[in-house]
A = this chain, B = another copy of it.
Amino acid sequence: MIRVTVWNEFLHEINQPEVAAIYPDGIHGCIADFLGKEEDITVRTATLSQPQNGLSEEVLCDTDVLVWWGHMAHDRVEDATVERVHRHVLGGMGFVGLHSAHHSKVMKALLGTTLNLRWRHDDRERLWCIAPAHPIADGVPQQHELPIEEMYGEPFDIPEPSETIFLGWFSGGEVFRSGVTYTRGKGRIFYFQPGHEQYPIYHDPVIRRIITNGVRWAYLPCRTREPIPIENPEPLEK
């Protein structure tokens, strides 16, 4: 079983009725619901307002893959939480960053760049799969249309990805590396752009398939839970 924790800052759904209408149980509730229907996945959720942001050492030790959605309150995530998550990823916990998670403290700490980008509300996206052999593309169509989505556009200040799986086309004239992977330490990271809170993106079956594939891809069976160590070994005898 893959033990997944879905983290959400859970503010838009409380403050904006139109978001609550789309996600009555929160974005985390929606994602946890569809992931939890998979036979090989068990899910819990965690949110910003919980003690330790819901991500104590104990919770992280019990998590194989952490899914992260945050937007307006990145700065309210405690530094100690960032340190714990960062360390667990380097030790082998998978990390799936969704949409505005690109500007989270955790992703900045893991990737080292600003993760800045261009953005604009109310555009139309066509998601192109450019790596059909990648496990995250399994069962995903060559192209997929999101009739309304927030535009995220290049230049996107990220390290050159390990693999670029999806490119986004936006009707307003932009392109974006919409699905990219990284490995940091023993941890595998998948960033996936779709998911503006005002549109029902996480109800879309193709988007759900991609996130589910991403969770499976990011899961490391033989996780040691310790980052790669410093060692001072004896030389090989000649």
A interface residues with partner B (beta carbon < 8 Å): 86, 90, 92, 109-114, 116-120, 123, 126, 128-134, 138-139, 142, 151, 153-157, 159-160, 162-164, 167-175, 177, 182-188, 220-222, 227-236, 238
B132 and A228 form a contact (CB under 8 A): yes
Q: Given A162-B163, A164-B164, A235-B123, A130 and B156 touching (CB < 8 A)?
A: yes
Partner of A235, one of B164, B173, B183: B173
Question: Closest CB of chain B to A65's CB: distance in Å?
Answer: 13
Contacts of A112 in B (CB 8 A): 86, 109-112, 184
Question: Closest CB of chain B to A161's CB: distance in Å?
Answer: 9
A187 and B227 form a contact (CB under 8 A): no
Given contact pairs A109-B112, A133-B185, A157-B228, a sample of 5 additional A-B residue pairs in the complex whose CB atoms are under 8 Å apart: A92-B133, A116-B229, A126-B236, A153-B233, A160-B162
Partner of A120, one of B173, B182, B235: B235
Partner of A187, one of B133, B163, B233: B133
Q: Could you tell me the distance between the alpha carbons of A142 and B155 in the complex, rounded to whole angstroms?
A: 8
Contacts of A151 in B (CB 8 A): 235
User: Is chain A's interface secondary structure helix, strand, loop, or mixed overall?
Assistant: loop
Chain B residue nearest to A173 (CB atoms) is: B236
Chain B residue nearest to A110 (CB atoms) is: B112
A114 and B228 form a contact (CB under 8 A): yes
Contacts of A222 in B (CB 8 A): 138-139
Q: Could you tell me the distance between the alpha carbons of A232 and B152 in the complex, rounded to whole angstroms?
A: 9
Question: Closest CB of chain B to A132's CB: distance in Å?
Answer: 5
Question: Closest CB of chain B to A117's CB: distance in Å?
Answer: 7
Contacts of A123 in B (CB 8 A): 235
Question: Closest CB of chain B to A107's CB: distance in Å?
Answer: 9
Contacts of A177 in B (CB 8 A): 130, 167
A236 and B154 form a contact (CB under 8 A): no
Query: Can you sample 10 A-B contacts with CB below 8 Å?
Result: A117-B230, A119-B230, A126-B175, A130-B156, A133-B185, A134-B183, A151-B235, A160-B163, A169-B169, A169-B174
B132 and A155 form a contact (CB under 8 A): yes
Chain B residue nearest to A183 (CB atoms) is: B133
Contacts of A183 in B (CB 8 A): 131, 133-134, 159-160
